[in-house]
Amino acid sequence: MSPVHVRAEPGDFAESVLLPGDPRRARYIAENFFEDARLVTEERGMLGYTGAYKGKPVSVQTTGMGCPSAAIVTNELIQLGARNLLRVGTCGGYHRDMELGDLVVATAAVPQDGTVSSITRGMPYAPAAHFDVVHAAHHAAESAGQRTFMGPIVSSDLFYDPEEDPADLWNSLGVLAVEMEAAAIFTIAAMEGVRAGCLLTVSDTIGQEVVRIGDDELRKAVDGMMTLALDTLDALN
């Protein structure tokens, strides 16, 4: 029987799957980076496609926003045979040296969310990316000459953070950036014995004020990240 939310059958998805939050980004990736892309699910508008990259099968599946939605999708993709999961998205950069369009390779994700705590029954837990994925992403970025930051990020339930100066708080803890899904993906992947990672484009720099990237600059930066993400998955196969 098909999973409840990702309405597909075993074999519809490749073992390696990109995980953007936005369905429009999933469609864009499939149409612009995949060979012979085909739609395999559109349940609830959560678009999923399978195609090929450099002749190898690869998929992309929308996760939606936040850890609860990402947890559902991650669980169901694993049920369908996914073994390499790579979140691709945007983030708010906390590091003082970050510039708009920079790449972040997450090594871990602080779980500032309710989902991971529910999964672990409140036990302290440190969601981490799989070393193989981090290693492959690092080398892909290095080969491309991409300006890259590597280290921990934080996954938050809140896009509009009431913290007066979150950058100061997280900088003091060595956290590079904030996004909303990686902690749940890392946790479930580790529990199920599959590999997961996360690549992010800095779309906002967060300090005394928030500075937002322009649309054209964002598109160019995300395109570069997608090539690196696909090269990362290619190296894992």
Domain assignment present for residue 105? The answer is yes
Domain assignment present for residue 145? The answer is yes
d(CA 90, CA 101): 9
For the chain (237 residues), the mean pLDDT of every run of 10, in chain order, is: 89 98 98 98 96 98 98 98 98 96 98 96 96 98 96 96 88 97 98 98 92 96 98 95
Domain count, the chain: 1
Q: In this predicted structure, what is the pLDDT of residue 75? A: 98
The first and second tokens of residue 215, run together, are 């649309």
Q: In this predicted structure, what is the pLDDT of residue 237? A: 81
Closest CA to 148 of 92, 99, 85, 181: 99
DSSP strands (E only) in the chain: 16-19, 35-41, 48-53, 56-61, 84-93, 103-112, 148-156, 177-179, 195-206, 210-212
List, by residue number, the catalytic residues. Answer: 204
Q: Which residues contact 85 (CB under 8 A, 6 or more apart)?
A: 17, 19, 74, 77, 185, 189, 194, 195, 196, 197
Domain assignment present for residue 6? The answer is no
**Which CATH number does the domain housing residue 32 bear?**
3.40.50.1580
Domain assignment present for residue 198? The answer is yes
Domain assignment present for residue 9? The answer is no
Domain assignment present for residue 39? The answer is yes
Give the structural domain span for 59: 16-236
Domain assignment present for residue 2? The answer is no
Domain assignment present for residue 151? The answer is yes
